[in-house]
Amino acid sequence: MTETRCGYIAIVGRPNVGKSTLLNHILGQKISITSRKPQTTRHRVLGIKTRESVQAIFVDTPGMHRGEKRAINRFMNREASTTLRDVDVILLVIEAGRWLDEDAWVLEQVRQASSPVVLVINKVDKLEDKTQLLPFITARTEDFEFADVLPVSALRADNLAALERTLESYLPAGPHLFDEDQITDRSMRFLAAETVREKITRQLGDELPYSMTVEIEEFKLEGKITHISAAIYVERDGQKKILIGSGGSRLKSIGQEARRDIERLIDGKVMLNLWVKVKSGWSDDERALRSLGYTDTD
């Protein structure tokens, strides 16, 4: 009988290094939302990949950052840092050719963990002078003794097969914890809310960077159509006007994009209704955060 392996892999790094894109391409399915805006990911999301005898459970985390000005920033850092204690291997994702103070700060957090750390150098396709890659790797390995170092392009899926093979070698022997066809621990309700938030972030990232969140108020199947009602919370009336747009045009555009993606997720027809509500100061209010689903998973 073939020995089975199963283990947890944390994906950590500063904001906007491509952690969620990496996970989505490894899974071959989108479960973590992405945008060009830092701190798009706010919650820990499990991505599960089962291949024959090996089950790899990836933990996508919010970008770790030093600024903890508001309650939501503190929540995101807790989501990332508590993950480091409970995994079999850590993927530290950085950007090829760029080593910032924030990367060094994340490395300091990783140093405190006992798990092996694999350095993933992402976005190598964007490195104009490829001769700089080897000196960059050399400089990084002087800072810390990594278990392995792999350059990849998550967006182009370059070298991801090699990364997966490397990770499998660190996973302990043991039974699989999830069904082989399960790809995430998150509900469709959660994924629908995240999809709406992604479309808002992509369309209005400059105007509404972190002052917006989404809560699903209704999610029910009637016949062959899934009816979803989502409340979008912002902090000020001016943000509400921006989000709705002239004659409701912006909200309609966001709804259309989100509905298409949710239909792909659930493989069925969706009726999506969006409402915009003002909840002043929600992002710096621990109680408001809990009521909106920002609860610690540890």
Domains in the chain: boundaries? 5-168, 188-291
Selected residue with higher pLDDT from 74 and 176: 176
Q: Render pLDDT for 143-153 as a digit per residue (tens, 0 to 9).
A: 899 999 999 99
In 127-231, which ranges are continuous DSSP H helix? 133-143, 160-168, 188-204
Residue-wise pLDDT for 247-264, tens only, equals 999 999 999 999 999 998
Asked if the domains 5-168 and 188-291 are classified in one and the same CATH topology, the answer is: no
3-state SS class at 106: helix
**φ/ψ (deg, to 5) at 292:** -95, 10
The amino acid sitting at 68 is E
Residue 38 clears pLDDT 50, i.e. is over it: no
Q: Which CATH number fits domain 188-291: 1.10.287.70, 3.40.50.300, 3.30.300.20, 3.40.50.1000?
A: 3.30.300.20
Do residues 182 and 150 lie in contact, with contact meaning Cβ atoms separated by under 8 Å? no
According to CATH, the topology of domain 5-168 is Rossmann fold (3.40.50)
Using an 8 Å Cβ cutoff, are 194 and 239 in contact? no
8 A C-beta contact, residue 205 and residue 193: no
What is this structure's pTM?
0.72
- At CA 103, angle to CA 95 and CA 83, rounded to 5? 100
Residue 124: per-residue pLDDT = 94
List, in sequence order, the alpha helices (H) in the chain: 19-27, 71-83, 101-111, 133-143, 160-168, 188-204, 237-244, 249-266, 286-291
Closest by CA to 32, choosing from 228, 171, 185, 205, is: 185
